[in-house]
Amino acid sequence: MSGSWRALSQAKIGGFCLRVDDETFVKVVQACLENLARAGFKVVVAHGHGPSTRAFRDHLAVWEVHFDLRLLHLQNELGDHGLGFMSDHAATNETSLMMALHPEWVDLTAIADQEPLVGIWGTDPRTHASAELGNQIIRAQIEWLRDRLTGFGILAPNL
């Protein structure tokens, strides 16, 4: 899919998307992590979308040692089960999250009746997305984060 992303990232699209090259993004994140560590933070949960989350994940182990921080992102192992945050693109996962958080922003009738769906990568939200699934994703992520923070000694058990 990276080939298709590269081609589409250069396309003219409606709306707005700010994209920087990976080298610049990594430098910005490193500067942020350095300042957070200096300020005394112990855990940083960072999450973006697609390329930014992959870049964060790719550098995570090195940054944890270098900055003495615990680093987490929400495209974790739950994403393999459809319960990660933003683990698709405008498809069932993201649409379900929006249906749970801001249903007034979701209009499935605006999706053109065509195949393949343009700008949607993942399971067709028109037939699979729901607020119930969005709430399930949110609950799963909260539990996953709570378990990690408890394991790090940041949260007391049973909170």
pLDDT digits (tens, 9 = 90+) for 67-119: 999 999 887 667 667 787 777 888 999 999 999 999 999 999 999 888 888 88
pLDDT band of 158, cuts 50, 70, 90: confident
Q: Tokens 């990690």, residue?
A: 148
Type of residue found at 122: G
Give residue 75's pLDDT: 75
Indicate if the pLDDT at residue 1 is higher than 60.
no
**Strand-pair category, 70-72 with 43-45:** parallel
Neighbours of 102 (CB within 10 A): 10
- Predicted TM-score (pTM) of this structure: 0.77
